[in-house]
Amino acid sequence: MRSRNALPRFSSLLCLLFLPTVFSSSPRPQWILQRVPVVLPQQTEARPDPQFLNPARLDVAFHCDPECHKKAPRPSYWDLRHHLAYETLHSNGELTETAIGIYGYNPSLSTSPAYSTGKTEQTHVRRKRQIFGHDGRFSIVGQNFLLQFPFSVAVKLSTGCSGTLVGDRHVLTAAHCVHDGKNYVKGAQKLRVGFLKPKLDARHSPIFFPSNFTNHVEGGPGQYAPPISDKMKFQWIRARRTHVPKGWIKGTANDIGMDYDYALLELKKPHKRRHMKLGVSPPAQRLPGRRVHFSGFDNDRLGQLVYRFCRAGEETSDLLYQHCDAQPGASGSGVYARMWNGRRRRWERKVIGVFSGHQSVERQGASHEFNVAVRITPLKYAQICYWIKGNFVDCREG
């Protein structure tokens, strides 16, 4: 019998489905393409082999709030070159470090204020909460639904995090899922990526949803039928290479900034699924309904894909703050938005950030709590796109 606690969640979703009809006369929110800088690899050198000693921390928390980040000094050109240099972990355990050059860099479009080490006015940090009030997450189950875009782009990492397909064999995730700030975590060398697939069982019937149901969830009117449970399993593919920016590799996980908490995995073989495009993160006020969406594998719902959406809150050049309900395991999920592509004359979803972790700060007797995503800035777009494409020509417009 369905829990009574589930009913308010379905009601809130139904409210969301019908809200956009009120604003139907407003202009379409559009992706605005912009020229981005070029981030090119220069010199690559071998590094000492990693140790792979510590398990990945899935509940990484940070104590520098939006004001703290906004007050930090803007990084220089040379700082950015250092932060965007990167390490590559190969599946045979070898490690290399690559210096980069930045060309066509425009400070007005640049990434972020540099991070701070979190020395804010704080008396103590209380127990981390990643559910804000009523739990607004939805478990996505049912064979047809799980295999339907955009839910089909969500994957699970063998270290316990989530990720998003952004290329034929590429997965975007959070850096802390593979590196703790000092070294690569246990399991990073033999990292695997899991694709949720149906386990055939005659006792369970597949459920069928309208072909455009995912559009309804993200902004169109429509009916919603609460899903039922189907048995699923993971199919795993090994990672060949893992890229981590040097901006993340500085110290313990709680002492470094969140600005560079992203990593890209290259799989050993193509995954043969539709992937999501990468996009430069627009200002929050330009997002449809000012909402963001992401799906991941939260630890409190083992084996289930969990979808959520919420209103984007404060933002800095590199970080987006929101109150999307999440639990450990969702780290690394691709935060996306759906807007109109005027050039192609169609709606497109693009990944504009990576869900990173939680911030809980006590300041002047009040508690301030956020869930935080790393925004894909023009420089980060140029870097990640180059990792995917292998050239800069296809990475000039984000």
User: Exactly one of 158, 331, 333, 356 is catalytic; which is it?
Assistant: 331
Q: What does the buried/exposed string (b/e) look like for 285-323 if buried means 16 or more CB atoms within 10 Å of the residue's CB?
A: eebbbbbbbbbbbbeeeeebbbbbbbebbbbbbbbbbbb
Task: Look up 229 and say whether it is catalytic.
Answer: no
Q: What's the length of the chain? A: 398
**Arithmetic mean of pLDDT over the chain:** 79
pLDDT in tens, 89-143: 999 999 999 999 999 987 655 444 333 333 333 333 333 446 655 677 788 777 7
pTM of the predicted model over 0.85? no
Task: Look up 275 and say whether it is catalytic.
Answer: no
Question: Does the structure show a pLDDT above 90 at 304?
Answer: no
Which residues, other chains included, contact 32 with Cβ-Cβ below 8 Å and sequence gap of 6+? Answer: 282, 286
Domain 40-395 class? Answer: mainly beta
The pair of structure tokens assigned to 27 is 């202009």
Which residue bears the tokens 């109109």?
340
Burial of 247 (0-12, 13-18, 19+ CB in 10 A): buried
Amino acid type, 35: R
Q: Which residue has the higher pLDDT, 57 or 163?
A: 163
Write phi, then psi, for 57 (nearest 5 degrees): -90, 120
Question: Does the structure show a pLDDT above 70 at 397?
Answer: yes
User: Exactly one of 63, 69, 83, 176 is catalytic; which is it?
Assistant: 176
**Mean local confidence (pLDDT), 225-248:** 81
Which stretches of 153-216 are assigned E, i.e. beta strand? Answer: 154-157, 162-165, 170-173, 192-198
Task: Look up 331 and say whether it is catalytic.
Answer: yes
User: Exactly one of 255, 300, 323, 368 is catalytic; which is it?
Assistant: 255
Which residues, other chains included, contact 7 with Cβ-Cβ below 8 Å and sequence gap of 6+? Answer: none
* pLDDT at residue number 221: 42
**133-137, 238-242, 303-307, 337-341: lowest mean pLDDT where?**
133-137
Q: Which residue has the higher pLDDT, 352 or 23?
A: 352
CA dihedral sign, ordered 249, 254, 257, 262: positive
DSSP state, residue 23: G
Closest C-alpha among 82, 180, 63, 69 to residue 114? 69
Domain boundaries, the chain: 40-395
Query: Taking the chain, what is the end-to-end CA distance rounded to the nearest angstrom?
Result: 47
* pLDDT at residue number 61: 67
Q: Quick one: pLDDT band at residue 243, thresholds 50, 70, 90?
A: very high
Contact assessment for residue 292 and residue 373, using Cβ atoms and an 8 Å cutoff: yes
* pLDDT at residue number 137: 78
* pLDDT at residue number 301: 85
